[in-house]
Every structure is written in structure tokens, then in C-alpha cells.
Amino acid sequence: MERYRQKVMNLAFSILRNEALAEDLSQTVFVKAWQALPRFDGRAALSTWLYTITRNTCLTAVEKERRLVPLEDFVEVADDDGDPMLFGRESAGPETSGQAAAEYDVTKLLDQLPEPYRRVVVLFYLEDRSCEEVGELLSMPTGTVKALLHRGRKKLAALAGESETEQ
């Protein structure tokens, strides 16, 4: 567990974008892995197997969360005619400077990246996985992984350009 704890947590966070939920689901992943250990046949590496359990657990949680939208997550704003409208609450991040600011900007850019690109970019660059491993973990062909990486890099570059012009 100690060997894979941080990697499972990183993958969970990259999918969920919520640290507390990622911690909870990481524990759930290890419980599921322990319970399923007798069925582990060794065809895939243990890390790949754990990543698959993590991915599936997180995607199930995301799907459940999408079905439930609490009203407290919205604020009421009046439109031009004075009629009330609901909009998602915007969360303001902490002000940072120096080295921490650069790291915060990368996280902010990754947050803006659409889901399929973000998962591939995080696994490839932050988890240092090969295209083949990413494809195996996400159940997609290697060519699809490469295409998503290419498009994800382009989108990140565009987002970084937009971020520079805003400052």
C-alpha cells in the first residue's frame, strides 16, 4: 500500500479534482484491491490493476455526483430584466507568488483542460507512464492516447496563452 498510495491518490485527484474525496476513494480502492486479491491473475502488472480499480471507482463516483446537484452549489443572480437566474458558484483560489504561483498556474490550466485530455496528460506527464500503459489503464488504443496527448498539449498551450494575456 505504501508503494502505490501516492500514485493512486494522484490519479484519483486528477479525475475527481477534490482532495478530500480523492483521499476517501483511495482508501476504498485499497480495500477493493485487498478484497479482490484472490482474483488477481497476474496478467497485468499490479500497478496497472490498481490504476484500473482507481479509475473505475473514481468514474463511478463522478457519475453519481453528476446525478446529484445540491442547490447550495449555486448562487442566485438577477439577469438584465431583474429576473433571478442560477449560476454555478465560482471558487476563488488563494493568491500565491514565486515558485508556488507557477505550480498553481499549472494546476489551474489542468483544471480547465477537458476531462479526457486531462486524464491522459496527467498519466503521461505527471505519472510518467508510456502511451501503451496509459492506453491500458484507460482502456483505449495507443493511437487514441497519442491523439489525446497531442490535442491536450495544444489545448494547454492555448490556455497558457489566454492566461498570459489576462495578466
Contact 50, 33 (CB under 8 A): yes
Q: How many domains does the chain have?
A: 2
Please check whether residues 3 and 84 belong to one and the same domain.
yes
- The string over 64-97, giving b where at least 16 C-beta atoms fall within 10 Å of a residue's C-beta and e elsewhere, is eeeeeeeeeeeeeeeeeeeeeeeeeeeeeeeeee
Please check whether residues 24 and 66 belong to one and the same domain.
yes
Residues paired with 78 in a beta bridge: 84
> 72: domain range?
1-91
Please check whether residues 48 and 64 belong to one and the same domain.
yes
Question: What are φ and ψ of residue 65, in 5° steps?
Answer: -65, -35
Q: What is the mean pLDDT of residues 27-38?
A: 93
Please check whether residues 11 and 84 belong to one and the same domain.
yes
Strands 84-88 and 74-78: antiparallel
What is the reported pLDDT for 91?
A: 38
pLDDT digits (tens, 9 = 90+) for 98-153: 444 434 356 777 878 888 888 888 888 777 788 998 898 888 999 999 999 999 88
| Residue whose C-alpha is closest to residue 48's, from 11, 14, 23 | 11
Please check whether residues 73 and 134 belong to one and the same domain.
no
pLDDT at 161 over 80: no
Q: What is the CATH number of the domain that holds 115?
A: 1.10.10.10
Please check whether residues 85 and 99 belong to one and the same domain.
no
- Choose between 6 and 73: higher pLDDT: 6
Please check whether residues 85 and 100 belong to one and the same domain.
no
* Residue 28 to residues 50, 95, 148, 155, Cα–Cα distance (Å): 11, 33, 29, 33
What is the reported pLDDT for 4?
A: 92
Q: Which long-range contacts (CB under 8 A, 24 or more apart) does 156-161 make?
A: 156/109, 156/110, 156/113, 156/121, 159/109, 159/112, 159/113, 160/109
pTM of the shown model: 0.48
pLDDT at 73 over 50: no
